[in-house]
A and B are shown apart, each in its own frame.
Chain A
Amino acid sequence: METIWFCLVAVMIAMYVVLDGFDLGAGAVHLFVARTDAERRAVLRSIGPVWDGNEVWLLAGGGTLYFAFPALYASSFSGFYLPLMVVLWLLILRGIAIEFREHVQSLVWQPLWDAVFSLASALLAIFFGAALGNVVRGVPLDRAGTFFLPLWTDFTIGKDAGILDWYTVLVAIAALATLVVHGALWIALKTEGDLALRARRTAARAWWGLGAAVIAITFVSFRIQPHLQASFQARPWGYVFPALALAGLVGVRLMNRRLRELGAFLCSCLFIVGMLTSAAFGVYPYVLPSNSDPALSLTVSNAAAPLYGLKIGLVWFIPGMLLATAYFVYTYRSFSGKVRT
């Protein structure tokens, strides 16, 4: 039962990264890809009807994590206190920037919110990447299963590591590159003309950086977190996840070159899902490993809520998510096609 909820939470998080990922990525490249006010407006219109719904996956995923793994929720949210608060501030500023940009027509109003939107989006991608890096690396859990990390110390990955060390910064860069490619492919898919052309070129250029970052973090992750290797050796079928990621990564390149916009975007989705599931598979059964004593790690069993809650949770979660999927299909269908510039 715990493993089912581990998979469900992983799916929720993966959905969040795939969906909100494209609007975060679109934000990160917003200032460079879209030059004129009309183009920037087109970028915002391409995410306008969906960004809020995409962010709901974060809230619903967080809520699911909360009731299925309360000990993990409590430990990680308080341990990552400062970066999470910064994430909240960025989410606030970004949401306001998207919603309020069009309310006033002025030569200072739009550029201001464009800058806020873009900067906040890029920083969010970086923070989410660093968070993932921390989960893979492990944190200094105490006997009560709690910890507190400063934002940074000396950027080494020893016992006194902060939230940002060279490894997590590397993962953060990889996350930014991932979402830049993802977001640029979304803009290419949803817009036309010069804007779409520039977006496609941005994706093609950033792809090289992404490839390099992926090779680097794959290599380093296996050295820093020995449990990853143990997981893949114990259950070799798990290699299917990194294989998916690799297929997605190569697919992005091929599809983008052949101007298959939808295909390229879907390959990017596949790549993100492959990377996240690889990480989840590699870390399992840990949900938050300790970087000092493995015995102190939080696992699916010692962090999970009692059985009754998990069972009854399935009873409403499944129909609830089926409904949510129906809304999701409705929203994206009514919003299909390109945005007119």
Chain B
Amino acid sequence: MTPAASIVARLPQHGPLAFVRRVGALVRRHAYLLLKSWPRIVSMAYYPTVTMVLWAFLTLYLAPKNDFLRDAPGFFIGAVLLWDILFRGQLGVSLTFIEEMYSRNLGNLFVSPLTLPEFIAGQLTMSVLRTLIGVGGACLFAWLLFRYSIFSLGFPLIAFFVGLLAFGWAIGLAVSGMILRWGLGAEELAWAAIFLIAPVSGVYYPVSVLPGWLQGVAYAMPSAHVFEGMRAVLLDGTFRWDLLRNALLLDLAYLIFGAWSFYAAIRYARKHGLLLQMGE
């Protein structure tokens, strides 16, 4: 009897190359979807761009009357663009997952050799791509319309990007887990969850303006440390390594929690038979 494997040559199934290939397959699947739909690409950049334009005009209006904005005219634009890194980073994970649920494809994926870490790595990779498209579009318009370049932040921009993106991933994974657990009825969470932490992230104001008890909550968020760091760069011209360290350590903790939540939801789905039933 000829073994079945002999009629179709298969590439190695274990090791880093297999990991990259399977993650690449997931990215390919979502890239096919994105590249054939310009409205999808436009919609990714639309919201960040419109928000940026609003804050830019507000800055133009207030700057002549306000010393603070005269000294740091890119303050609000920089803040809104960084906030969108967090928001897009989270959406990139959650929407990639929702897309699989809508298309009732989870069953096919989870009976394939794709492992859970690979599935998560695929979501995170798509999150980076979606964030670059969404925020990149807004950055381009910020330069074209207002001559503001986010790259004027210099090296700290990379640190802020990493700090915010990782927090977005953590929230995105937790939200994906909740959607898996409670079904597409919980889809609204993908859009709304991030706004729960917006007031305590100190995006447009320092954490010090919050009531004392809320400052404690704020400093438990990596985003608050990143935005404090942004203000230090824009207003004082200094880069606060301590804030970056705090943000990254908190990111790590939240990422562990996000991944654990997602794993727990998958365990629940396996126990209750949700993986083959999920869909529109």
- The answer to whether A and B come from one shared complex is no
Q: A residues engaging B (CB < 8 A)?
A: none
Q: B residues engaging A (CB < 8 A)?
A: none
